[in-house]
Amino acid sequence: MIIAIDFDGTIVDDAFPKIGEPKLFVFETLKQLIEKRHQLILWTTRTGNQLQKAVDFCKENGVEFYAINNSYPDEKFADMESRKMMCDLFISNKNFGGIPGWGEIWQEVQLAESGVDLSNVNAIPEKGLKGFLKKLFTKK
């Protein structure tokens, strides 16, 4: 999947223009997503030096993004061109209801990867969801 991720308030606590503390389990989760071959895009309103500081901070914590503020690495924009991103999932603290914990985000990505329709997770029979999660987290 292609997953776009906001920075301030999502990867780190919001302290703009400074870089806040990393969210609990964020870098562990992002590294696992990369290991599972998801393409991660850093999608932030930061620009210039502030953007570079965010990119460097993530790199220092072991996370390098597929693309930064673009849908793919070499994407170029002309003046007045739409910057709508192409992604399967967008993770941001500005989501309705806020951002869940990174453990919950990990679980939902795994469900989406398995083909489970996340638009109505409450409709998944409890036994089916528990069985799926048990298989997912049981060591072989």
Is residue 11 within 8 Å of residue 23, measured between CB atoms?
A: yes
For the segment 17-40, what is each residue's pLDDT rounded down to a tens digit?
999 999 999 999 999 999 999 999
For the segment 111-140, what is each residue's pLDDT rounded down to a tens digit?
888 776 655 555 545 555 555 555 555 555
5/87 Cα distance (integer angstroms): 10
Put simply, whether the predicted model's pTM sits higher than 0.85 gets the answer no
Angle between helices 26-35 and 102-113 (to 10 degrees): 20
Is residue 118 within 8 Å of residue 108, measured between CB atoms?
A: yes
Is residue 85 within 8 Å of residue 41, measured between CB atoms?
A: yes
The H-or-E segment that residue 135 falls in is helix 126-137
**pLDDT for the residue 88:** 87
Q: With CA atoms as reference, report the closest residue to 116 among 96, 99, 101, 131.
A: 131
11-25, 81-95, 107-121: the lowest-pLDDT one: 107-121
**pLDDT for the residue 71:** 75
